[in-house]
Amino acid sequence: MAPRDAEATRRRLLDAAAAEFAEFGIAGARVDRIAAAARTNKAQIYHYFGSKDGLFGAVLAGLMHDVVEADPFDADDLPESMGRIFDQFEDDPSLARLATWYRLERSDDDPPNAAILGANATKVAAIRAAQRDGRVTDAFAADVLLGLLLSLATTWASLPPEYTPTARNNTRPKRRAAVVDAARRLVSPE
């Protein structure tokens, strides 16, 4: 198989797997459905990714790369960075589903996803530097602050739309503004 064909097959497998994992989770995903959707055979999944778990890890790594590339994380404007993460989750609901499946189905014994670790380490270092310079509150450790901010940015993706009687009036611009405002208040050094 030519390198171009191999890369095209690998890309089709990743795309098909992302859709399958988002819908069914890791345990419910079926490699035969992924292979059929990618117009290839199951052997290619094992050839490229080693296992279904390896394929899921590759899907997460690819999504993390796409998220990082699309969001120029800025420790000097953390509220707007969280607004952009909010936008990504609104624009692609499969991100929330994949993140939820990952949290639900991975055990503490599973090795951590290197792409996620790397992206978080970079963000924590940037926050830590902003804290040292007094641009961001040091009321929380940098890693804790990042966790709080990411939770804020993805809050709406994890809540049912009916969680409040005023959900109908809770438009996307209003939800985004709430995320950005809450993040601004959280990171303020005053």
**Beta strands in 90-142, from DSSP E residues, in sequence order:** none
pTM of the model: 0.83
What integer pLDDT is reported at residue 39 of this predicted model?
94
Task: Give the pLDDT band (50/70/90) at residue 168.
Answer: low
Residue with tokens 């970079």: 122
Return the CATH architecture of domain 71-190.
Orthogonal Bundle (1.10)
Q: What does the mean pLDDT of the chain come to?
A: 89
Burial of residue 118 (number of CB atoms within 10 Å: 0-12, 13-18, 19+): middle
Q: Cα(98)–Cα(70) distance, rounded to whole angstroms?
A: 18
- Is CATH 3.20.20.70 what the domain over 1-59 is classified as, yes or no? no
Domain with CATH 1.10.10.60 in the chain: 1-59
**In this structure, is the dihedral angle defined by the CA atoms of residues 64, 70, 76 and 82, taken in order, positive or negative?**
negative
